[in-house]
Amino acid sequence: MRKFAIVGIGHVGATIAYTLVTKGIADELVLIDKNKEKATAEMLDLQDAQARLDSHTTIKAHDYAEIADADILFVTSGNIYALTKNSGDRWAEFKDTKQIVQDIAPKIKASGFHGVLIDVMNPCDCITYYLQQATGLPQNQVFGTGTFLDTARMQKVVGETFDVDPKNVTGYTLGEHGVSQFTAWSTVQVNGLAIESYQAEKQLNFDDMEEKARFGGWTVHSGKGYTNFAIATCAIKLSQAVLSDAKLACPCSSFNEKYGTYVGQPGVIGKNGVEYVTTLPLTDEEEEKFKASANFIRERFETLPKVK
Protein backbone atom coordinates (compact mmCIF):
# COMPACT_ATOMS: atom_id res chain seq x y z
CA MET A 1 0.00 0.00 0.00
CA ARG A 2 1.63 3.23 -1.17
CA LYS A 3 0.40 6.14 0.88
CA PHE A 4 1.25 9.77 0.19
CA ALA A 5 0.30 13.03 1.87
CA ILE A 6 0.66 16.61 0.68
CA VAL A 7 0.62 19.71 2.88
CA GLY A 8 0.00 22.75 0.70
CA ILE A 9 -2.39 22.29 -2.23
CA GLY A 10 -1.34 25.21 -4.40
CA HIS A 11 -0.03 24.93 -7.96
CA VAL A 12 2.76 22.51 -7.08
CA GLY A 13 0.81 20.47 -4.54
CA ALA A 14 -2.12 20.07 -6.92
CA THR A 15 0.19 19.04 -9.76
CA ILE A 16 1.84 16.43 -7.55
CA ALA A 17 -1.59 15.14 -6.52
CA TYR A 18 -2.81 14.95 -10.11
CA THR A 19 0.29 13.05 -11.21
CA LEU A 20 0.16 10.61 -8.31
CA VAL A 21 -3.48 9.80 -9.06
CA THR A 22 -3.53 9.74 -12.87
CA LYS A 23 -0.31 7.72 -13.14
CA GLY A 24 -1.50 5.22 -10.54
CA ILE A 25 1.46 5.90 -8.26
CA ALA A 26 -0.56 6.37 -5.06
CA ASP A 27 -2.94 3.88 -3.47
CA GLU A 28 -3.88 6.44 -0.81
CA LEU A 29 -3.51 10.21 -0.82
CA VAL A 30 -4.15 12.80 1.90
CA LEU A 31 -4.54 16.47 0.97
CA ILE A 32 -4.04 19.17 3.61
CA ASP A 33 -4.22 22.93 3.18
CA LYS A 34 -5.16 25.85 5.43
CA ASN A 35 -7.76 26.64 2.77
CA LYS A 36 -9.98 23.64 3.41
CA GLU A 37 -12.35 24.51 0.58
CA LYS A 38 -9.44 24.36 -1.88
CA ALA A 39 -8.26 21.00 -0.56
CA THR A 40 -11.80 19.63 -0.69
CA ALA A 41 -12.27 20.88 -4.25
CA GLU A 42 -9.04 19.24 -5.44
CA MET A 43 -10.04 16.00 -3.69
CA LEU A 44 -13.47 15.99 -5.36
CA ASP A 45 -12.04 16.83 -8.78
CA LEU A 46 -9.60 13.93 -8.54
CA GLN A 47 -12.33 11.62 -7.28
CA ASP A 48 -14.46 12.56 -10.29
CA ALA A 49 -11.65 11.31 -12.54
CA GLN A 50 -11.52 7.85 -10.92
CA ALA A 51 -14.08 6.22 -13.24
CA ARG A 52 -11.91 7.06 -16.25
CA LEU A 53 -8.58 5.91 -14.84
CA ASP A 54 -6.95 2.48 -15.02
CA SER A 55 -6.08 2.62 -11.32
CA HIS A 56 -7.79 3.62 -8.09
CA THR A 57 -6.62 5.98 -5.36
CA THR A 58 -8.39 6.54 -2.06
CA ILE A 59 -8.27 10.30 -1.48
CA LYS A 60 -8.94 12.08 1.81
CA ALA A 61 -8.53 15.66 3.01
CA HIS A 62 -7.80 17.83 6.05
CA ASP A 63 -6.94 15.30 8.78
CA TYR A 64 -3.33 15.31 10.04
CA ALA A 65 -4.06 12.06 11.88
CA GLU A 66 -4.32 10.42 8.44
CA ILE A 67 -0.64 11.06 7.69
CA ALA A 68 0.63 8.92 10.57
CA ASP A 69 1.23 5.89 8.34
CA ALA A 70 2.06 7.77 5.13
CA ASP A 71 5.18 6.61 3.33
CA ILE A 72 5.88 10.02 1.82
CA LEU A 73 4.92 13.51 2.96
CA PHE A 74 5.38 16.38 0.51
CA VAL A 75 5.40 19.89 1.98
CA THR A 76 4.69 22.40 -0.78
CA SER A 77 3.28 25.43 1.04
CA GLY A 78 4.42 28.98 0.37
CA ASN A 79 3.52 32.49 -0.70
CA ILE A 80 3.81 32.76 -4.48
CA TYR A 81 2.82 36.43 -4.36
CA ALA A 82 5.89 37.32 -2.31
CA LEU A 83 8.03 35.60 -4.91
CA THR A 84 6.32 37.50 -7.72
CA LYS A 85 6.72 40.89 -6.06
CA ASN A 86 10.43 40.30 -5.54
CA SER A 87 11.39 39.17 -9.05
CA GLY A 88 11.85 35.52 -8.19
CA ASP A 89 13.94 35.98 -5.04
CA ARG A 90 13.16 32.78 -3.15
CA TRP A 91 14.14 34.44 0.14
CA ALA A 92 11.08 36.70 -0.26
CA GLU A 93 9.05 33.73 0.99
CA PHE A 94 11.24 33.23 4.07
CA LYS A 95 9.01 35.22 6.44
CA ASP A 96 5.95 33.23 5.37
CA THR A 97 7.47 29.78 5.13
CA LYS A 98 9.19 29.93 8.51
CA GLN A 99 5.79 30.73 10.03
CA ILE A 100 4.26 27.86 8.08
CA VAL A 101 6.87 25.51 9.57
CA GLN A 102 6.05 26.79 13.05
CA ASP A 103 2.38 26.01 12.35
CA ILE A 104 2.56 22.63 10.64
CA ALA A 105 5.61 21.00 12.24
CA PRO A 106 3.92 20.40 15.63
CA LYS A 107 0.94 18.87 13.79
CA ILE A 108 3.18 16.60 11.76
CA LYS A 109 5.02 15.58 14.92
CA ALA A 110 1.79 14.99 16.86
CA SER A 111 0.39 12.82 14.07
CA GLY A 112 3.13 10.23 14.60
CA PHE A 113 4.35 10.51 11.01
CA HIS A 114 7.56 8.54 10.65
CA GLY A 115 8.02 8.26 6.90
CA VAL A 116 10.13 10.34 4.53
CA LEU A 117 9.43 14.06 4.25
CA ILE A 118 10.26 15.81 0.97
CA ASP A 119 10.28 19.59 1.17
CA VAL A 120 9.55 21.82 -1.82
CA MET A 121 9.13 25.11 0.06
CA ASN A 122 11.34 28.15 -0.48
CA PRO A 123 13.99 29.03 0.41
CA CYS A 124 14.36 25.28 0.08
CA ASP A 125 17.60 24.48 1.88
CA CYS A 126 17.06 26.65 4.94
CA ILE A 127 13.40 25.66 5.35
CA THR A 128 14.14 21.96 4.88
CA TYR A 129 16.64 22.17 7.74
CA TYR A 130 14.08 24.02 9.86
CA LEU A 131 11.45 21.38 9.13
CA GLN A 132 13.82 18.63 10.13
CA GLN A 133 14.63 20.35 13.40
CA ALA A 134 11.00 21.23 14.15
CA THR A 135 9.55 17.78 13.37
CA GLY A 136 12.35 15.91 15.12
CA LEU A 137 12.60 13.43 12.26
CA PRO A 138 16.06 11.97 11.54
CA GLN A 139 18.10 13.99 9.04
CA ASN A 140 18.13 11.18 6.49
CA GLN A 141 14.30 11.12 6.45
CA VAL A 142 13.95 14.83 5.65
CA PHE A 143 15.35 16.25 2.43
CA GLY A 144 14.43 18.91 -0.08
CA THR A 145 14.24 18.99 -3.86
CA GLY A 146 17.15 21.45 -3.70
CA THR A 147 19.25 21.57 -6.87
CA PHE A 148 17.60 18.51 -8.43
CA LEU A 149 15.55 20.88 -10.58
CA ASP A 150 18.43 23.31 -11.11
CA THR A 151 20.53 20.43 -12.41
CA ALA A 152 17.73 19.52 -14.83
CA ARG A 153 17.69 23.11 -16.06
CA MET A 154 21.44 22.94 -16.58
CA GLN A 155 20.98 19.70 -18.53
CA LYS A 156 18.38 21.42 -20.71
CA VAL A 157 20.64 24.39 -21.47
CA VAL A 158 23.65 22.19 -22.25
CA GLY A 159 21.48 19.85 -24.31
CA GLU A 160 20.27 22.76 -26.41
CA THR A 161 23.87 23.98 -26.87
CA PHE A 162 24.98 20.59 -28.18
CA ASP A 163 21.71 19.57 -29.82
CA VAL A 164 21.41 16.45 -27.66
CA ASP A 165 18.71 15.12 -25.40
CA PRO A 166 19.15 16.57 -21.87
CA LYS A 167 19.18 13.02 -20.50
CA ASN A 168 22.51 12.59 -22.30
CA VAL A 169 23.97 15.40 -20.20
CA THR A 170 25.22 14.44 -16.73
CA GLY A 171 26.74 16.43 -13.92
CA TYR A 172 25.70 18.61 -11.02
CA THR A 173 24.44 22.03 -10.09
CA LEU A 174 25.27 22.44 -6.41
CA GLY A 175 24.69 24.71 -3.43
CA GLU A 176 21.66 26.80 -2.67
CA HIS A 177 18.42 26.40 -4.59
CA GLY A 178 18.81 30.10 -5.32
CA VAL A 179 21.18 32.74 -6.57
CA SER A 180 24.36 31.35 -4.96
CA GLN A 181 24.01 27.99 -6.73
CA PHE A 182 26.66 27.05 -9.29
CA THR A 183 27.29 24.37 -11.87
CA ALA A 184 30.33 22.21 -11.16
CA TRP A 185 31.50 22.09 -14.77
CA SER A 186 34.24 19.62 -13.85
CA THR A 187 31.44 17.05 -13.31
CA VAL A 188 29.48 17.75 -16.51
CA GLN A 189 29.62 15.33 -19.44
CA VAL A 190 27.89 15.31 -22.82
CA ASN A 191 27.32 11.86 -24.29
CA GLY A 192 29.88 10.55 -21.82
CA LEU A 193 32.61 13.06 -22.70
CA ALA A 194 33.77 15.86 -20.41
CA ILE A 195 32.18 19.14 -21.46
CA GLU A 196 35.46 20.98 -20.93
CA SER A 197 36.99 18.97 -23.76
CA TYR A 198 34.61 20.77 -26.14
CA GLN A 199 35.40 24.26 -24.85
CA ALA A 200 37.86 25.32 -27.55
CA GLU A 201 35.99 23.62 -30.39
CA LYS A 202 32.56 24.97 -29.44
CA GLN A 203 33.74 28.28 -27.92
CA LEU A 204 31.58 27.54 -24.89
CA ASN A 205 30.58 30.31 -22.53
CA PHE A 206 30.11 28.52 -19.22
CA ASP A 207 29.04 31.70 -17.42
CA ASP A 208 26.28 32.31 -19.96
CA MET A 209 25.00 28.74 -19.75
CA GLU A 210 25.06 28.85 -15.96
CA GLU A 211 23.11 32.10 -15.94
CA LYS A 212 20.43 30.65 -18.23
CA ALA A 213 20.05 27.65 -15.93
CA ARG A 214 20.04 29.76 -12.76
CA PHE A 215 17.25 32.04 -13.93
CA GLY A 216 15.31 29.52 -16.00
CA GLY A 217 12.67 29.19 -13.32
CA TRP A 218 12.08 32.92 -13.22
CA THR A 219 11.49 32.93 -16.99
CA VAL A 220 8.73 30.35 -16.51
CA HIS A 221 7.35 32.21 -13.49
CA SER A 222 7.28 35.49 -15.39
CA GLY A 223 5.21 33.92 -18.13
CA LYS A 224 2.53 32.19 -16.10
CA GLY A 225 2.91 33.45 -12.54
CA TYR A 226 4.27 30.24 -11.02
CA THR A 227 6.21 27.07 -11.80
CA ASN A 228 4.73 23.63 -11.23
CA PHE A 229 5.33 20.90 -13.81
CA ALA A 230 9.11 20.52 -13.55
CA ILE A 231 9.34 20.84 -9.76
CA ALA A 232 6.43 18.43 -9.27
CA THR A 233 8.15 15.95 -11.58
CA CYS A 234 11.33 16.22 -9.51
CA ALA A 235 9.48 15.71 -6.23
CA ILE A 236 7.66 12.65 -7.51
CA LYS A 237 10.83 11.08 -8.95
CA LEU A 238 12.51 11.46 -5.56
CA SER A 239 9.52 9.86 -3.81
CA GLN A 240 9.52 6.92 -6.21
CA ALA A 241 13.21 6.40 -5.51
CA VAL A 242 12.30 6.06 -1.83
CA LEU A 243 9.41 3.66 -2.38
CA SER A 244 11.34 1.42 -4.75
CA ASP A 245 14.59 1.68 -2.78
CA ALA A 246 16.14 2.70 -6.10
CA LYS A 247 19.43 3.97 -4.65
CA LEU A 248 19.08 6.89 -7.06
CA ALA A 249 22.21 9.04 -7.26
CA CYS A 250 21.09 12.63 -7.65
CA PRO A 251 21.47 16.13 -6.20
CA CYS A 252 19.01 17.21 -3.51
CA SER A 253 19.03 19.30 -0.36
CA SER A 254 20.43 17.22 2.47
CA PHE A 255 22.55 17.78 5.56
CA ASN A 256 26.22 18.48 4.99
CA GLU A 257 28.36 17.54 7.99
CA LYS A 258 31.32 19.67 6.96
CA TYR A 259 29.39 22.94 6.73
CA GLY A 260 26.62 22.15 9.22
CA THR A 261 23.66 22.92 7.02
CA TYR A 262 21.28 21.55 4.44
CA VAL A 263 22.54 22.34 0.95
CA GLY A 264 22.17 21.02 -2.59
CA GLN A 265 24.67 18.18 -2.98
CA PRO A 266 24.80 14.70 -4.51
CA GLY A 267 23.29 11.91 -2.49
CA VAL A 268 21.82 8.46 -2.88
CA ILE A 269 18.06 8.16 -2.34
CA GLY A 270 16.56 4.88 -1.14
CA LYS A 271 14.03 3.45 1.28
CA ASN A 272 15.48 5.35 4.24
CA GLY A 273 15.53 8.68 2.43
CA VAL A 274 19.07 9.96 1.97
CA GLU A 275 21.06 6.76 2.31
CA TYR A 276 24.35 8.62 2.12
CA VAL A 277 25.95 11.74 0.67
CA THR A 278 28.61 11.60 -2.05
CA THR A 279 31.66 13.84 -1.82
CA LEU A 280 32.72 14.96 -5.29
CA PRO A 281 36.32 15.72 -6.28
CA LEU A 282 35.59 19.39 -7.02
CA THR A 283 38.17 21.87 -8.23
CA ASP A 284 39.46 24.40 -5.70
CA GLU A 285 37.30 27.11 -7.28
CA GLU A 286 34.20 24.92 -7.15
CA GLU A 287 34.83 23.97 -3.54
CA GLU A 288 35.07 27.66 -2.62
CA LYS A 289 31.75 28.34 -4.36
CA PHE A 290 30.17 25.41 -2.52
CA LYS A 291 31.51 26.63 0.81
CA ALA A 292 30.25 30.16 0.19
CA SER A 293 26.79 28.92 -0.78
CA ALA A 294 26.54 26.61 2.24
CA ASN A 295 27.67 29.38 4.59
CA PHE A 296 25.10 31.72 3.04
CA ILE A 297 22.35 29.22 3.91
CA ARG A 298 23.73 28.54 7.38
CA GLU A 299 23.87 32.24 8.28
CA ARG A 300 20.20 32.66 7.47
CA PHE A 301 19.25 29.49 9.27
CA GLU A 302 20.85 30.93 12.40
CA THR A 303 18.34 33.80 12.29
CA LEU A 304 15.39 31.43 12.79
CA PRO A 305 13.71 31.07 16.19
CA LYS A 306 15.06 28.07 18.05
CA VAL A 307 12.92 24.96 18.00
CA LYS A 308 11.35 24.30 21.38
Respond yes or no: is residue 177 known to be catalytic: yes
Please name which of 118, 131, 128, 14 lies closest in space to residue 70, comparing C-alpha atoms.
118
DSSP lists the bridge partners of residue 180 as none
Angle, CA of 301, 121 and 139, to the nearest 5°: 60
CA distance 39 to 6: 10
Catalytic residue among 56, 62, 114, 177: 177
Helix axes 229-243, 11-22, angle to 10 degrees: 50
Binding site, annotated residues for NAD(+): 8-13, 33, 120-122
CA distance 15 to 75: 13
Q: How far apart are the first and last CA of the chain?
A: 34
- Amino acid of residue 300: R
Please name which of 138, 144, 146 lies closest in space to residue 113, comparing C-alpha atoms.
138
CA distance 132 to 109: 10
Residues shown for the chain: 308
The residues carrying an active-site annotation are 177
